[in-house]
């Protein structure tokens, strides 16, 4: 029981930096272009092209990395949740018989945890792209993954 509580506390301690890094990464100018120009994207394109040469098929188009769109969607869901939460907290206490349903967009705690965990995985992709003009962002992601250790979604090398 104590171990579970410590794990939950550790996980909750990582939420603010995960959210902060996700918001910063989502705001990076040309994020999709940077992702598509990454070494990971080039490797995926080479793999996609490998068989075409031998089979005489036309070369496929460059790979479009899916994670920037996923990041934008997840950050959008986070913003909707935050707005719904603010509205929910600001409304007066419901009286008996009054509709007290939470507002649309407010995530259940388990769904919010999944969203944050998804954001954690998505910010890890910042290590794959050129962020020379956002050096603090890449350092922040490295620090977060190092601090989270085995609790991180996947380890970056």
> What confidence tens digit (pLDDT) does each residue in 8-51 have?
555 678 899 999 999 999 999 999 999 999 999 999 888 888 87
Q: How confident is the model over 77-94, as pLDDT tens digits? A: 999 999 999 998 888 887
Return the domain boundaries, the chain. Answer: 2-32+67-151
What length does the chain have?
Answer: 157
**Structural contact between residues 76 and 110, judged by C-beta atoms closer than 8 angstroms:** no
Predicted model pTM: 0.84
The residue that leads in pLDDT, 28 or 59, is 28
Calpha distance 126→115 (Å, rounded): 18
């Amino acid at each position: 029981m104590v171990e579970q509580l410590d794990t939950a506390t550790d996980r909750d301690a990582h939420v603010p930096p995960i959210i902060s890094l996700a918001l910063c990464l989502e705001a990076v100018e040309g994020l999709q272009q940077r992702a598509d120009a990454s070494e990971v994207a080039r490797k995926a394109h080479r793999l996609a092209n490998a068989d075409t040469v031998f089979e005489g098929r036309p070369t496929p188009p460059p790979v479009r990395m899916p994670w920037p769109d996923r990041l934008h969607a997840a950050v959008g869901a986070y913003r909707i949740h935050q707005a719904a939460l603010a509205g929910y907290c600001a409304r007066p206490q419901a009286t008996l018989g009054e509709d007290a349903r939470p507002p649309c967009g407010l995530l259940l705690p388990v769904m919010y945890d999944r969203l944050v965990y998804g954001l954690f995985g998505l910010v890890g992709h910042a290590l794959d792209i050129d962020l020379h003009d956002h050096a603090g962002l890449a350092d922040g992601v490295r620090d977060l993954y190092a601090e989270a250790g085995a609790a991180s979604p996947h380890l970056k090398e």
